[in-house]
Each structure stands twice: as C-alpha cells, then as structure tokens.
C-alpha cells in the first residue's frame, strides 16, 4: 500500500526530457503571446521601464531600499566608475514589525522613511551632494505592481504576509515620497523595480553577457532583457538603448504538460490564492472565445510557482506523508495533529532530510520526530521519506530548468540562433541553500541544451542581492547627469 502511494507519485511527477522540452517550448510561446498584447498570456510579461541597465561606468553615491519578505534593507553604495566599480557599500537590515504588515500605509511607509532617515544621517560627510544634485534612490518592491514609468507604479495586490488595504491601487513611490518628505528627507526615487529585475541589474553591472535574473526563494519570478522592437504591445517611443527589461511574472505559467499531482491540486484549492477565484474572468473569456485551452487549466493560479518554490515544496511533501500515514501502517499509531497542519513541514526541513548522509539517516529520524511527531521510524521508512522528498525536489528543479530553457529558446540563445555566451543569474534562499535542487537544476539545463550549447550558458548565483541592483538602476537612470 505504502509502496503504491510512492509509485503513483513517482509516475505522476515524472519529468522526462521530452516533457521538459515541451514545457520550455510553451514557455517561449507564452512569452511571445504576453508580449503581443496585454492579457495575451497567463505569463504577464510586464514592462519594467528599465531601458538602461548599469554598465559599470556609473559614478556617485546612491541609495537602495528592499522591501519584499519579512525584512527590509536600506543600503548605500559609492560607485567609482570603470575600474573601481563599487568603492564602498553599507547596509542595514531591519525586521518589519508584524503589526505594520496589516496596518495603514502611512504607518508602514512612515516606518521605512524613519529608518532611512537614521541611515542617511550617518552618511560620511565626505560624500557631498553639492552642485544642486539630489540624493537618489532605487526601490525594490517585490509585490505585483502595474508600472507606468520607471518610477511610477500602482500596487495591484499584496502577497506574502502583507495586507494593507488602503495601499491597493495606489502609487507606491508617491506613498514613499510623501513619507520621506515628512521626515525632512530630500531624496528622489529614481527607480521602482522588483527583486528579479534587481538581481538582473546587479549581475549585469559586472558582466554584460548577463541576460536574465531569476528568483527561487519563497516564490519564483524571472526578468530578462528584450529587444524593444520585439514587444508589439509597447506603445510609447522606443528607448534609445533599444532594450527593455521584461518582468515576466512567470509564477503563473501553466501548460497542460506540467506534471500536476493530486497533492498539488489539493494545495492549490486550499491556498490563499486558489485558481478558481483568481481566474473567474479568465474562465468567462475562455468561454467567450471558445478557446481550446486545456481542460480545467483555469483551476490553477501561480501553479508554476507552487511546483517550484520554497514556500510550497515542504507543504507538498507533508500532504504525501499524510496520505501515506492515513492509508498504511508506515508510521504506526501516531498523533496526526502536526502532520495535518498546513505548511507545518517547511522546505528547509525537507532540504535537511534530503541532504542526510548518515548511514542510518539519523537526521531524517530527528526531523520527522521534531516537526511531525513521527517517532521510532525504521530505516526502510526513512528511506521512503527521502524518496518522496527526492521526487518532489527533482520535479521542482527540472521544471525550473525547463523555464530557463524557455527564456533561452525565446532569445535564440539555446544554440539555435545566437552562438554567444549567455549568463543567467539566480538568487533566492532555495537556490542558495538547497544544494540538491541547485545541482539538479544545473545538470537538467545542460541535458536540455545539449553538450555544445550548454558550454555557452552560465548559471551564476547572485551574491550582491536585490538592494544593490535597485541602487545601480537608480544610477543608470539618474537625473543628476
């Protein structure tokens, strides 16, 4: 019985190369459809209005602000131009008090501005802002934003632990600017971006072959450099650089080739953002145009994210273990309270079990007992748990690689057209800490590209973080020059 549960899971979550090639090809198709017209794809392909990525030649002092997960960071970089690059950097990380995540926007932005004011106050006196130059800042705000220009964007909705009703639909830069004025801070917000765009910019500063920035953390997203004339939905004047960074919002990618199991379906239905609610209008439009979209594709919201990112992998494994326990005697007589608690098993827990190299899987035993109150497991049972984790993590890493292959395919950098070096920079806690995920992602991408083409593609971990990227984009879009 237990073997059957694992066997079914393995079968349902299989990701043979042929399937991944289909996922990649469809990702490239969705990218084209999303660039064609607003609403043309579930992958939104939003214009970031970043049309000048940093080159390394920027000079001066710039500020960055990073608001995304639970912490926010203020930082300051001194850029020395060409050979010197980043001469000095200072940063401070502050935990956002929980009550501010669901209070009013005046309180949240007031708190951010006051932290920034303290940070600006201890600025080195040698860094003068003479010549009428204003201080400039780049703001990394990793929530869905409808962008209207490089420094104007309205909040579409909050995600993660944030919920501040009065900010929805409002201009977030305006909110920040007002709060800064109240603190007597004279700082110009030169750019509003998200973490994927920031990751791209941070790496591009050092290496002009960087074409994309990708996040695998709590969630997942990707941003890449597109030719402005390859964006039919673009209505304004084309930028001088000829380039435009696209914020893909690829977490919502869907293809009928995605290996979605019963556990993922249940997770989607019970999640904060289930498919059926989010896509009500999508269902209507599907019926209206009689589209031949895959049956019940509209059930899934952010499904690619749910299959590949840190917030969900532990939770999927918990669901499999629960079924295993309810349908077989694998864990013996146990109290199911913890095993039944949503999101109780977290991705760092499964990562620790997955990397257990002790001969008797001691760490697996410990984690099962500590987190799920499953004690006295046999070695055979522990091996089975690792097997389940491996199935879920491998599927995630292989689908992640297929997404990257999709971007390369769209750009003709999969070896099909452009025979040049391409660097993709990746950030996020999952990519950074989950070694097996990272290795599997890398080998799968090579497998998909083939030996020749994979020599031209480099995957790099972003070590500077998104805050720096925002300060660098503020520099490349500076008005002080």
- What are the residues binding ligand ADP (CB under 6 A)? 68-69, 217-219, 310-311, 347-348, 351, 428-430, 433-434
Residue tagged 């395919």 (tokens): 409
Q: Which residues, 6+ apart, have CB-to-CB distance to 102 below 8 Å?
A: 162, 163, 164
Long-range CB contacts (< 8 A, 24+ apart) of 229-233? 230/35, 231/35, 231/47, 232/35, 232/36, 232/37, 233/35, 233/36, 233/37, 233/38, 233/40
Nearer to ligand ADP, 69 or 259 (CB): 69
Q: Does 310 bind Mg ion (CB under 5 A)?
A: no
The nearest distance, CB 69 to Mg ion, in angstroms, is: 6
Residue 389: C-alpha distances to residues 26, 60, 254, 373, 437 (Å): 27, 48, 23, 18, 11
Nearer to Mg ion, 199 or 330 (CB): 199
Nearer to ligand ADP, 279 or 351 (CB): 351
Q: Taking the complex as a whole, how short is the minimal distance between the CB of residue 311 and ligand ADP, in angstroms?
A: 5
Q: Report the residue closest to Mg ion, judged by CB.
A: 68
348 binds, among Mg ion, ligand ADP, none (CB under 5 to 8 A by kind): ligand ADP
Those residues with Cβ within 8 angstroms of residue 448's Cβ, 6 or more apart along the chain or in another chain: 17, 20, 21, 24, 401, 402, 405
433 touches which of Mg ion, ligand ADP, none (CB within 5 to 8 A by kind)? ligand ADP
Residue 302's Cα: distance from chain center in Å?
11
CB of 161 to ligand ADP, least distance (A): 10
- Least gap, CB of 174 to ligand ADP (angstroms): 24
> Could you tell me if 247 and 469 are in contact, meaning their C-beta atoms sit under 8 angstroms apart?
no
Sketch the per residue contact string, 193 through 212, with Mg ion: x for CB under 5 A, - otherwise. --x-----------------
Residue nearest ligand ADP, Cβ-based: 310
Q: Minimum Å distance from CB 71 to ligand ADP?
A: 8
Give me the 66-105 binding string for Mg ion, x by CB under 5 A, dash otherwise.
--x-------------------------------------
CA angle 148, 154, 155 (to 5 degrees): 140
CB of 469 to Mg ion, least distance (A): 11
CB distance 93 to 65 below 8 Å: no
Q: How far apart are the first and last CA of the chain?
A: 70
Answer yes or no whether residue 110 interacts with Mg ion by CB under 5 A. Answer: no
- State the nearest-atom distance from the C-beta of 62 to Mg ion, in Å: 20
Which residues are at the interface with Mg ion (CB under 5 A)? 68, 195
């Amino acid at each position: 019985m237990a073997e059957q549960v694992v066997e079914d899971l393995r079968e349902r979550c299989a990701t043979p190369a042929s399937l991944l090639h289909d996922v990649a090809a469809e990702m490239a198709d969705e990218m084209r459809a999303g660039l064609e017209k607003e609403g043309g794809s579930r992958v939104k392909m939003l214009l970031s209005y970043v049309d000048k990525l940093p080159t390394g030649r920027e000079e001066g002092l710039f500020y960055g602000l990073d608001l995304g997960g639970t912490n926010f960071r203020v930082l300051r970089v001194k850029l020395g131009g060409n050979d010197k690059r980043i001469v000095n950097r200072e940063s401070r990380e502050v935990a956002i008090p929980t009550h501010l995540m669901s209070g009013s926007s005046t309180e949240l932005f007031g708190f951010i501005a006051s932290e920034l004011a303290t940070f600006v106050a201890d600025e080195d006196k040698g860094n003068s802002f003479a010549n009428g130059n204003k201080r400039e800042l780049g703001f990394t705000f990793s929530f869905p934003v409808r962008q209207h220009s490089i420094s104007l964007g309205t909040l579409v909705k909050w995600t993660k632990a944030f919920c501040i009703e009065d900010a929805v639909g409002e201009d977030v830069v305006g909110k920040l600017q007002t709060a800064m004025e109240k603190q007597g801070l004279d700082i110009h917000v030169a750019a509003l971006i998200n973490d994927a765009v920031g990751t791209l910019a941070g790496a591009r500063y050092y290496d002009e072959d960087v074409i994309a920035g990708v996040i695998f953390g709590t969630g997942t997203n990707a941003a890449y450099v597109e030719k402005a004339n390859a964006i039919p939905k673009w209505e304004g004047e084309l930028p001088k650089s000829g380039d435009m960074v696209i914020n893909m919002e690829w977490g919502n990618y869907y293809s009928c080739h995605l290996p979605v199991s019963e556990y993922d379906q249940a997770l989607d239905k019970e999640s904060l953002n289930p498919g059926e609610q989010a896509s009500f209008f999508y269902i209507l439009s599907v019926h209206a145009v009689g589209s031949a979209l895959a049956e019940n594709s509209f059930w899934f919201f952010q499904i690619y994210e749910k299959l590949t990112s840190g917030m969900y992998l532990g939770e999927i494994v918990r669901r499999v273990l629960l079924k295993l326990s309810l349908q077989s005697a694998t864990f013996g007589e146990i109290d199911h309270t913890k095993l039944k608690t949503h999101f109780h098993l977290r991705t760092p827990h499964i990562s620790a079990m997955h990397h257990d190299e002790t001969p008797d899987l001691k760490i697996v035993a410990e984690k099962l007992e500590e987190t799920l109150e499953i004690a006295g497991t046999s070695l055979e049972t522990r091996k089975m748990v690792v097997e389940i984790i491996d199935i879920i993590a491998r599927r995630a890493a292989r689908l992640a690689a297929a997404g990257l292959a999709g971007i390369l395919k769209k750009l003709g950098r999969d070896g099909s057209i452009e025979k040049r070096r391409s660097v993709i920079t990746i950030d996020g806690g999952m990519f950074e800490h989950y070694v097996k995920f990272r290795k599997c992602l890398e080998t799968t991408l090579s497998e998909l590209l083939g030996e020749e083409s994979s020599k031209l593609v480099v995957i790099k971990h972003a070590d500077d973080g998104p805050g720096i990227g925002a300060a660098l984009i503020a520099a490349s879009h500076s008005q002080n020059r």
